[in-house]
Structure 1
């Protein structure tokens, strides 16, 4: 599925920007923001006190950055293009770290609520969701491009180029904003988590 996403990005640079070598530059520029985004999570969480709200903030940042990215080109306006690309990766990696930090909360909550602990299932479910999302997204894009008469290794028609452009930035940007909205309603805060843990520990020691 990661290969499929990379293929989608490569197609964007090859057929929309007109230079597939820009994909290498794009990938290299995202390395540092990836590290910084993951490292920023604990500081943001410390301020907000809620991992869901933290993930929501990072998701919103990803969405806004991707929507802004739609209006720029790596060829004609490289500075804003790569700036928003870097920001989107920064926020995405912060979000990704937040999501995996949320899983233990869900495990403890599930045990507190039902008496059953299911660590393996929770992590497997997140991984499965990622893989399914990538697979469905890539397949859907492939179907749309085929319907619009995509033909490899040649100049594409305007409809195909527009579809690739939307899929690269605008559409995922909107989906990220929806994700941010949903995560805003996450209820487990530092205080409620500590209460859950104290009750679980009391049951185990009692």
Structure 2
């Protein structure tokens, strides 16, 4: 998670000056070339990372058909709760990140803040690094709620901060630290639902449950998180590269400030419902250990 955020830091911090450099007076050409360059770098790095990678201890891994993988999700209520919560979270997070540029360009009237605040988002690694200490006190579901609460507080502080740069940056950092904590915790909790699925249904579908609980949720939530603000802004007459009406400015502010607050608050509901399943984990782990030890005998 920390490594991913470092990569994201460089991507979002330098995309604007890179697009301006490559495109000159043609902004569309600059963005196309910048994204193409990013894509080429990504492909090269992925090939380097995985070209000679080989799995070890594969004899311990049992492949199961996709039909049987679905059985691991049957009555796996903690998995359904985490999937729902993760999708909701990524809707709020993406809504915030996708409207940041609009907010600072039109509402704050300072496009220079876009790269600055995107760059400061790297501070969420502080939240990620602090998770081992926080989780000892609040457990996993409580740590996630703690992160969401911090993100909500940071968003609210941005409202109070107005156009003052330092208070805005402090508020943004608090919001990013909170969302960084929550983002990381979903990956930890979806792993626990794999154990629950094996305990409940006798099927360990690690790949299937983890893929849906992480990658699918990110794609689904990010897609909706980009789509919903665009619909809101269009409905209230946002016009690109023009002076915006009062209704358009309100729509941008709602999408960047208030929509994430509402969504992060709603996200607490499935997490609170997940609490009882986390409290049940010791029993699940004990029973699985006993089962595995009997199979080895």
With structure 1 as the length reference, what TM-score do the two structures score?
A: 0.88
- Stretches of 4+ moved more than 6 A in 1? 1-5
Pair 1:72 & 2:134 matched: no
Tell me which residue corresponds to 1:86: 173
Seen in structure 2, the aligned counterparts of structure 1 residues 18 and 79 have a Cα distance that, compared at 3 Å, is same
Give, in whole Å, the separation in 2 of the partners of 1:140 and 1:178.
16
Unaligned residue ranges in structure 1 (runs of 5+): none
Tell me which residue corresponds to 1:35: 125
Quote the offset at 1:3 in angstroms: 9.1
Pair 1:119 & 2:210 matched: no
Quote the offset at 1:6 in angstroms: 4.7
Quote the offset at 1:88 in angstroms: 0.6
Tell me which residue corresponds to 1:54: 143
Quote the offset at 1:72 in angstroms: 2.5
- Summarize deviations over 1:13-33 as a string: whole Å, max 9, x none: 1111112221111012221x2
Mapped contact 2:127–2:178 kept (Cα < 8 A) = yes
Aligned ranges for residues 1-206 of structure 1 at < 5 Å?
A: 6-31=97-122, 33-48=123-138, 50-73=139-162, 76-125=163-212, 126-185=214-273, 186-189=275-278, 192-206=280-294
Give, in whole Å, the separation in 1 of the partners of 2:157 and 2:265.
13
Give, in whole Å, the separation in 2 of the partners of 1:5 and 1:168.
5
Quote the offset at 1:68 in angstroms: 2.4
What SS does structure 2 have at the residue aligned with 1:34?
helix
Give, in whole Å, the separation in 2 of the partners of 1:56 and 1:6.
20
Quote the offset at 1:112 in angstroms: 0.6
Unaligned residue ranges in structure 2 (runs of 5+): 1-89
Give, in whole Å, the separation in 1 of the partners of 2:158 and 2:230.
22
- Summarize deviations over 1:33-62 as a string: whole Å, max 9, x none: 2111001111111112x2112111111221
Quote the offset at 1:71 in angstroms: 2.9
Give, in whole Å, the separation in 2 of the partners of 1:178 and 1:9.
21
With structure 2 as the length reference, what TM-score do the two structures score?
A: 0.63
What SS does structure 1 have at the residue aligned with 2:253?
helix
- Summarize deviations over 1:173-202 as a string: whole Å, max 9, x none: 12112212431232244x632331121121
Seen in structure 2, the aligned counterparts of structure 1 residues 67 and 6 have a Cα distance that, compared at 3 Å, is closer
User: RMSD value over aligned CA atoms?
Assistant: 2.1
Mapped contact 2:229–2:255 kept (Cα < 8 A) = yes
